[in-house]
Structure 1
Amino acid sequence: MKKIKTALLSYGMSGKVFHAPFLDLHEGFELIGSWERSKKLIQDDYPYTKSYNSIEELLQDDLDLVIVNTPVGTHFEYAKQAILANKNVLVEKAFTTTVAEAEELKNLAKEKNLKLTVFQNRRWDSDFKTVKQILDQDILGEIVEAEIHFDRYNPNLSPKQHKETANSGAGILKDLGPHIIDQALTLFGFPEALTADIRITRDQSLVDDNFDILLYYPRFRVRLKAGFFVREMLPSYILHGKKGSFLKDRGDVQEDELKLGKKPNRDNWGIEPDYKEGLLHTEVNSVVIREKVPTLHGNYFEFFDKLYEAIAENKTEPVTAEDGENVMRVIEASIKSNEEKILIEF
């Protein structure tokens, strides 16, 4: 099996939690190292790796894949450098800060015949996979409306300065927003129009920390919400169709278990507790049912499986650059809608 030689552009939480464990254990990848600016930590966890002192040093190495997992405002610059150095690229969300940047990266990767993908790992969360299965089974009837929430209770500012200073990559819309925007586009396709309300609700905050986006489709609408002052959680997924409803809490355990240092596997990984099961209330063959639905297993290995196939076997990326560009189109239109208090039609 061909090994995809891979390096990270940082080894903070993202590199340590979401990427390195899978790259280390996946039989198709070889974790070569990471660019580390101040703290040199990767070799403590993976002694066989390199710690690069600069992106130039990293890009000169024999690598097949570079993972751009740095602050959002740097994604475009670093991804472009990697593509120009003839490396396949995986970019963290948000893909870029503008649609124009996303389009330029997409076209440049295509021109150089390289793979460019976006790390929308939440497509492989247990809760989302279960919601998608319910929709695929068409047991709710024609969808009338849906909501996806990514709510938290956290009134405190982040200690990470790049998240709390006013810059092109900061704010909840470009932090949590890409997760649920991508999920909505995956489930329902691209909308005809949208309206958005984006706010600052925390004391001393300089960046947006609350949004409410309405996506309009020909026969239904989808609401996307996120905020930091939700102490009592609503279901994170609310689907209403002409036959019934499905409600599902956000319950994926992967991030929490990875933060605890647990190693992912392919057998018993990503299993939600039973009490997080979704509630299905619908009609099947003229019989009304109201029952809990077993949750599918979540597993980010599935993303890396598809990424391996894309690079080694020239298959389509698990999340395409066009997918990433479409998320940025929604984000950019939401900002415009909020600023001008208007409906944006696509």
Structure 2
Amino acid sequence: MTQIPIATGLIGFGLAGSAFHAPLIAATPGLRLAGIASSRPETVAAAWPDARIFADPAALIADPAIALVVIATPNTSHATLARSALAAGKHVVIDKPFVADAADGPALIAAAEAAGRVLSVFHNRRWDSDFRTVSALVQGGALGDVVRCEMHWDRFRPAIKQGWREEPGVASGLLADLGPHLVDQALVLFGLPERVCADVVAQRPDAQVDDAFTLTFHYGVRRVTLAASTLTLAPRPRFALHGTHGHFAIHGLDPQEAVLRAGGRIDDPGFGVQEPSLDGVLTLADGHRRTVPSERGDWRLYYAGMAAAIRDGAPPPVAADDALAGLRLIDAARASAREGRTVRL
């Protein structure tokens, strides 16, 4: 028997909603992009003529036909919209970060549990090509015990971009933007650290919010460094791992975002496939050196996981508890940078 697709409503049609969530939802078996709430109805209608257009989020949330609500709005609205959607009996996906203030997280998690609904956070970078490659190497033991891991996300953007991410606010700045992705990847690989030491700074002359950070997580003798910058012309390795058996380094970013932003098709056979020239190199202690073919990146797996969680009771693809743990680590990092000390967790 063919199952009826889960009617999914999307709130927000900015970059995240239009380029990422809408195409991924539409491409996922078991889901149907049923409605979109946006202040730009003409743009929505041109892109998704079969989706119902809602003038405001409240109307979409109130629609009894919508079973899953996806929130892709500015960070400060996440908690309020998620609270309303859960109260209306909807399953909920929230684009990262989970909430602007970590203090709002436990109540949302409790509300989802009480309502028997799935609450998840779109940490899509778990399904990046490079991260899937690194995860396979770490889990397979190719590097032995990893004693140092460096994760970088570098850009060269001397000019300040217009928009709320570059303006002072509760959830603005580079640490709030890229930090949740890097922290989540560190948690997936190594779990919760014991201590965190951080440097968070605004380096561009006209910057009003932080535009560079370095976080160091302590796990016994292991050190995991997460760093991002807006003034790095020659990017550092995306991942560099040093272990008792060898070393692995890989450059470049996963290709999915660039393809989706350019209007590329998800059903293209090459979607998520990294350029071979960007494959990482594994160097072993015995001197053997080889290129490691990159795993295919596939953000569709996140929404396939959501369909399975709603339909079959499978675990959500990203647990809200994991996202909350990441936000608490970022809060600890801010305290470390502000007070000039290592924070024990």
Partner residue in 1 for 2:293: 294
3-state SS of paired residue (2:168): coil
Partner residue in 2 for 1:99: 102
Q: Is the 8 A contact 2:238 2:253 kept in 1?
A: no
Picking from 134, 138, 142, the partner of 2:141 is 138
1:8-47 superposed Cα distances (whole Å, 9 cap, x missing partner): 1111111111111121222211101211124531111111
Partner residue in 2 for 1:19: 21
What displacement does 1:51 show?
Answer: 1.4
Partner residue in 1 for 2:190: 188
1:1-346 equivalences in 2 (<5 Å): 1-38=3-40, 40-61=42-63, 62-160=65-163, 162-265=164-267, 267-283=269-285, 287-346=286-345
In 2: Cα distance, 1:31 partner to 1:22 partner: 9
In 2: Cα distance, 1:54 partner to 1:261 partner: 26
After the TM superposition, which parts of structure 1 deviate over 3 Å for at least 4 consecutive aligned residues?
none
Q: Is the 8 A contact 2:71 2:82 kept in 1?
A: yes
Amino acid at match of 1:327: G
3-state SS of paired residue (2:197): strand
Q: Is the 8 A contact 1:266 1:299 kept in 2?
A: no
1:170-225 superposed Cα distances (whole Å, 9 cap, x missing partner): 01111011111100000010101101110011222111111110000013010000
1:227-270 superposed Cα distances (whole Å, 9 cap, x missing partner): 10000111110100012100011331111111121111284321
In 1: Cα distance, 2:196 partner to 2:4 partner: 44
In 2: Cα distance, 1:85 partner to 1:250 partner: 42
3-state SS of paired residue (1:216): strand
In 1: Cα distance, 2:56 partner to 2:100 partner: 23
3-state SS of paired residue (2:283): strand
In 2: Cα distance, 1:267 partner to 1:37 partner: 34
Q: Gapped runs of 5+ residues in structure 2?
A: none
Q: Is the 8 A contact 1:266 1:301 kept in 2?
A: no
Amino acid at match of 2:88: A
3-state SS of paired residue (2:288): strand
In 1: Cα distance, 2:107 partner to 2:230 partner: 33
In 2: Cα distance, 1:231 partner to 1:94 partner: 27
Q: Is the 8 A contact 2:41 2:53 kept in 1?
A: no
In 2: Cα distance, 1:148 partner to 1:238 partner: 7
Q: TM-score, normalized by length of structure 2? A: 0.96
Amino acid at match of 2:239: Y
Q: Is the 8 A contact 1:66 1:87 kept in 2?
A: yes
1:46-102 superposed Cα distances (whole Å, 9 cap, x missing partner): 111111111221111121111111011111111111111111110011111222111
The more displaced of 185-194 and 12-21 is 12-21
Q: How many residues align?
A: 342
3-state SS of paired residue (1:78): helix
Q: Is the 8 A contact 2:133 2:295 kept in 1?
A: yes
3-state SS of paired residue (1:111): helix
Q: TM-score, normalized by length of structure 1? A: 0.96
Q: Gapped runs of 5+ residues in structure 1?
A: none
In 1: Cα distance, 2:295 partner to 2:193 partner: 27
Q: Is the 8 A contact 1:2 1:312 kept in 2?
A: no
In 1: Cα distance, 2:112 partner to 2:203 partner: 39
In 1: Cα distance, 2:152 partner to 2:332 partner: 19
In 2: Cα distance, 1:266 partner to 1:311 partner: 27
Q: Is the 8 A contact 2:156 2:230 kept in 1?
A: yes
RMSD (Å), alpha carbons: 1.2
What displacement does 1:145 show?
Answer: 0.6
In 1: Cα distance, 2:126 partner to 2:245 partner: 26
In 2: Cα distance, 1:12 partner to 1:33 partner: 15
